[in-house]
Amino acid sequence: MEHFREVAKRIKNELDEGNFSFKTMSYSELLSIYREVIGYEARISKSVREGIAEALLDFGIRVFPAIEDMEGESVRFFRSNTVLWDIVVNLRYPDNTSDARLAALIKKIKEDPTIEIHVFSK
């Protein structure tokens, strides 16, 4: 539906405007965007969240955790085809090759002189 595409487009525009690879958004922020698009007070049902998730795919945007399961929490939107999204996918779906893929991705990051790596400890 067109309003799902408009919500997805606005999320993509937020990523574009900030030149972000990812962006975290709360349920209330997503609800606000949805209400602006449809023009009235509404709740974001699971079917609406599914429609938004599908529209986001058309714009090359992925979501974690699944937007369909979101209610009163936050989700993070990622651009597809980025190293960061590849890391998320390999962490989410471990298999007998994901360790090697993760190691290769981490090596790629470590070898990039433009990336500053900070290690945080408790």
Q: Which residue has the higher pLDDT, 108 or 25?
A: 25
pLDDT beyond 70 at 120: no
| Buried b / exposed e along 36-60 (16+ C-beta atoms within 10 A) | ebeeeeeebeeebbebbbebbeebe
Does pTM top 0.85 for this prediction?
A: no
Q: How confident is the model at residue 59 (pLDDT cuts 50, 70, 90)?
A: very high
Res 114: pLDDT: 76
pLDDT > 80? residue 122: no
69 phi and psi angles, rounded to 5 deg: -90, 0
Which amino acid is residue 87, in one-letter code? I
What average pLDDT does the structure give for the chain? 86
